[in-house]
Structures are given as structure tokens and as C-alpha cells.
Chains A and B, each alone.
Chain A
Amino acid sequence: MFSLASGRIAVVVLVGVGLLAVFGPLLAPHDPLATSPDTLVGPSGGHWLGTDYLGRDVFSRLLDGSRVSVVGALEVTVMALVVGAIPGILSVYLGRVFEWITLRVADTLVALPFLLFAVAVTALLGNGITQAMFVTGALVSPLFYRVGRAATLAVARSQYVEAALISGASLGWIIRRHVWGKVLPPIAVALAQTLGVGFIIVSSLSFLGIGVQPPAPTWGGLLAADLGYLSYQPWAPFAPALLIMVTVWAGNVLADAIRDVSGGAGRALADSRKAALVGGRA
């Protein structure tokens, strides 16, 4: 995937966002929660991106909020894999009952209106990060379930899987050796896309006040607060919006790059095994 320029740029951007998540809160020049009498001040040497309606330093809040935002997006991705892709792969193997149940659950989740569902869950289970993750998991998992299942179905009925079975291969062996390598490229594409979607989900949830609670800053939360004071500071939403946009863009570009080279993904795998084989000969 690094052979494509756009993919390389996307990786650089995502690494930058990752570094921001790790070191951002440490780099914040001001306390992101400290209020001051200087409310809604424009950019200056003291406050690079100005202050918000409570006089808090916007730049510090942006840096501080990056960790929660990125971790949130990563959590969405992990949810997608664990609740979506893996049951999708297993649905082909674990028998009719499991298959039927998971298929119906996935169909049901697809039919849910997301934001309404989020609000309903919050009303029912209370507000918090756990509930927000539950909601996002429910939102993203059907896609991954479908992607994982479709890719596995294509491989599961193949003759080389049957040949392995005839040689006494267990389910674990077949998945590790024959299924995983072919299912991974489409899942990787969907994952890279979801990384972008994850930001939007976390952001829209904080926009609605679900999940991360104020005053703790997130990119989406900042954007929401800025929009309330649009008439005073029309430029203010620019910074958090740009961060979200660039990250989502990078995720999408990376997904495209993976898809473009995924035809060669199996080849790369075989090449690495070839090297192992030649090494074993020496």
C-alpha cells in the first residue's frame, strides 16, 4: 500500500493524528478546563485559536480533546472487528442456529435509525462512554458482519478448503491458513473507512451530548460549542472541523489504497512464506 503516493500521505496524516492523541494533552499551553474573564477573544499570541464562551483556550482544548476523540474512533474500529467481522466469519462455520441468530441481529441493527437509537439507549441506560460505545458498536457491526461473512462464504466452499479438510484440518487451521488471508483485505478496506466514520460518530455523539461529558473537550464537542457562537466568531468552527475532515479524508484515502493493492495482498503473503520456505532449506 506504500507504493501509492496518496496512501503514503494518508499514513503520514494518520500517524500525525496518532501522535496528537498521545502527546496532544501534554502540549496544551493552557489548562483546557480553566475559565477566564477573556471570553470569545480572537486569535492572539497568548491564545493561538482564541478563547471560547467561557474564556477557555481553544487551542489547548483541541489538543486535549484529541486523545479522547482518537481513542473513541479506535474503539469504534475494535468494536467493528470484534462484534462485526469475527462473528461474520464464524457465522459460516458455527452452524445454522448461530448463523440465523446473527443474521437476524445484523438485519435488525441495520434497520435502526442511529441517532434516535443513541438517544433511546442514553435515556434507558444513562449517559456515559460505555453506552456510547454500545451504540457505535451496534451501528458499525452489521457492515463488518456482512463484509466478513461474504468474504468467508466465497472461500469456505472452495476445493482447497475441502482438500485441507480431507487432510484432517481443524476449523482453526482452515481459518488461519486458508480463510484469514483472503478475508483480511476487504475487512481492512472497511476498517480504514470506519476509522473516518468513527470520528464522525464520536463527534456527532458528543455534539448531542452523549458519551464524553462536558467540560471534557472532544473535537465534535468543540465544534458544537463553536456553532453556538457563530455570530460572534464565524471562523471558530474552522479548526476542529478541519481536524475531523483531514482525519476522515486520510482514513478514506488509506481505504482506497488498500483496496487498490489488495489484489496483491495474497501475493505479498505468499512471498513472505516463500522467504520462510527458502530459509528453511538452508
Chain B
Amino acid sequence: MTVLDVRDLEVHYGHRRQRRRALAGASLSIDAGEIVGLIGETGSGKSTFARAALGLVRPSAGRIVIDGEDVTGHRERQWRAVRRRGVVQYVFQDPLRSLDPDLTIGDSLMEPLLLKGVPRREAVDRARAYLGRVRLDDELLTRLPEQLSGGQRQRVAVARALITEPRLIILDEPVSALDAATRVQVLEILKDLRTAGIALLFISHDLGSVAGIADRVAVLYRGEVVEVGTAREVVTKPSHPYTRLLIGSAPTLRTAAAGRAERAALRELLHSGKGTPR
């Protein structure tokens, strides 16, 4: 069962002369319970891809199907209905800014439920349950975000994404703002989700942070998905020159890394605009 199917998605920003193409026909589909890593450098269109899947930007071409529902032409009101069902959730990179500083953790957690129309009493119970699920004490419910550590806050953000029982969670660099120890904690929680049948789209600029957790890795380059495969395939047998450059540029002890001359050649190939030998 496919939870997100994106076909030939194009997104443009700006008007007239300032019009820029952020996505140029990106395609990707994610099955239930699958963890997919979406890799790309700054400006490659990763965030735009996520925002389009959430209806925050309107595509100029292509098709988006969420959990069997074609949402491509949806208007704001229809999108709001889709979002309230909570099928797709999102976790921001910076947990400090994604929680309202004036709302208690409990209120932030309950927000998606209250928007969905769940009675408040039930929402409080669910908030407590999901706080436990991300291994946080339920006494945090009455705390404010500033009274929590970064790792705790990010786990709250994950709990908030889980609370509507979504089919897919999109995570935008969810651990890059965390220190190594908390990073492991959060990654452990995310791995647990796989058994619950929740699909994850893990967005990162860094292949290494995704390769360990993702079933499949998609590489986004200049608004296009240039390579999709299992993490092992992508790392060991990259077919697109950009992927080779990406892997070759990573500092590593392995011999897989490309030599200086090879990297220069790859860059040359990419800049010549003939970088898509498909």
C-alpha cells in the first residue's frame, strides 16, 4: 500500500522574471511502514518536496496522491480537511522553534487532536500516552518548552506527529540540531515506528545520517530525483555522477571514496549539464 505517491512534481517560486524552478519533475513513492531517506544539498528542493506533500506550496505540474486520495488540485479548505485527518505529519529540524513558547507541552501535543475534533478529556489521555511512547515522563505535560532540553523537545515534537496515528511522518533533519547521545535516543524511537507500520520520509543533506536507518534512499539534485535505491545500492553502486560526487566527498576511511582527480572530473561532468545519463 502506497502512502505517498509523487509523480513528475514541478514547483515554481516567485513571479515572472523572478520565477525560479524549485522542483523539476521529481518522482518518489513511499510504501506503508517504509523508511525512505531523501538526500540533497542545500537548494536541491528537499524542503520544497516536503512542503508540497503537506500542501504548503502549490505544484505547477505533476501529481500528488496521499493514502489513495489525489490531492493535486485541492483547495485550501480541502487541504485543511486532509491535514485534520492527520494522515501525514511533519517534524521540524529545530524543536526549539516548532513548539509555541507560551503553550504547555500538553497543549502543544493536544493541538492536532483538538483540531481533529477529539474531545479534550480524551486528548489529555492520549497526550499522556504518547509522551510515554517517546519515553518522556507525563509530568512534562504542564511544563513550558523552555523548561525542556533539546532532546526532550524533539521527542515531544515526534510525539506530536505520532498522536494522530499518521500513515507517514516527514522529518526534516530531525536530529541534526541534537548532540550525539540524544541523537541516538531519537533515532531509536524512530526505528520503533517501523514496526508500527508508519512510513517515514527522512530528509537530510547528509547521506551518512540516513543510510543507517533508511530502507531506501532517494537522491535529489537540482529539483529532480536522480537516484533511488536501497541504502547499500546507493552507497556502493551509485549510478548518477552527483551521487558519486556526494559519496566521494564524504570523509571516510573506506577506499570507496573518490580520488581528487575523479571528483574534479565528476564536477566537470555535472556542470556541463550532461549529468543525467539515464
Contacts and interface: CB of A to CB of B under 8 A. Distances in A.
A159 B97 contact: yes
Interface stretch (A74-82, A207-215, A269-277): A269-277
A166 interface: yes
Given A160-B98, A281-B124, A273 B107 contact: yes
B158 to A, nearest CB: 12
Residue of A165, A178, A181, A270 with highest tally of chain B CB at under 10 A:
A270
Given A162-B56, A163-B90, A168 B142 contact: no
Q: Specify the main secondary structure of chain A where it touches its partner.
A: helix
A270 B102 contact: yes
Contacts of A168: 80-86, 112, 115-116
Contact of B92 (A163, A164, A170): A163
A274 B142 contact: yes
Contact of B111 (A169, A181, A182, A270): A169
Contact of B94 (A159, A169, A177, A178): A159
Contacts of A274: 104, 142
A158 interface: yes
B141 interface: yes
B121 interface: yes
A182 B80 contact: no
B223 interface: no
Interface string A155-186: 00011101111111110010001100110000
A182 B102 contact: yes
Contacts of A267: 102, 144
A164 B97 contact: no
Interface extent on B, as a size class? 35 or more
Contacts of A273: 103-104, 107
A160 B84 contact: no
B142 A277 contact: yes
A164 B111 contact: yes
Contacts of B90: 163, 166
A278 interface: yes
A239 B142 CA distance: 53
Contacts of A280: 120-121, 124
Contacts of A158: 97
A267 B147 CA distance: 12
A266 B145 CA distance: 12
A159 B98 contact: yes
Contacts of A163: 90, 92, 98-99, 111, 160
Interface in B186-222: none
Contacts of B89: 166-167
Contacts of A167: 83-84, 86, 89, 111-112, 115, 164
B151 interface: no
Interface in A231-280: 266-267, 269-270, 273-274, 277-278, 280
Interface of B: 54, 56, 80-86, 89-90, 92, 94, 97-104, 106-108, 111-112, 115-116, 120-121, 124, 141-142, 144, 160, 164
Task: List the 7 shortest-distance A-B pairs measured between CB atoms, nearest first.
Answer: A168-B84, A168-B83, A266-B102, A167-B112, A160-B100, A159-B98, A159-B97
Given A163-B111, A277-B104, 4 more contacts: A159-B92, A163-B160, A166-B56, A167-B89
25 contacts: A159-B94, A160-B98, A160-B99, A160-B103, A162-B92, A162-B98, A163-B90, A163-B92, A165-B56, A165-B83, A166-B89, A167-B89, A167-B112, A167-B115, A167-B164, A169-B115, A170-B80, A181-B102, A266-B101, A266-B102, A267-B102, A270-B102, A273-B104, A274-B142, A277-B142
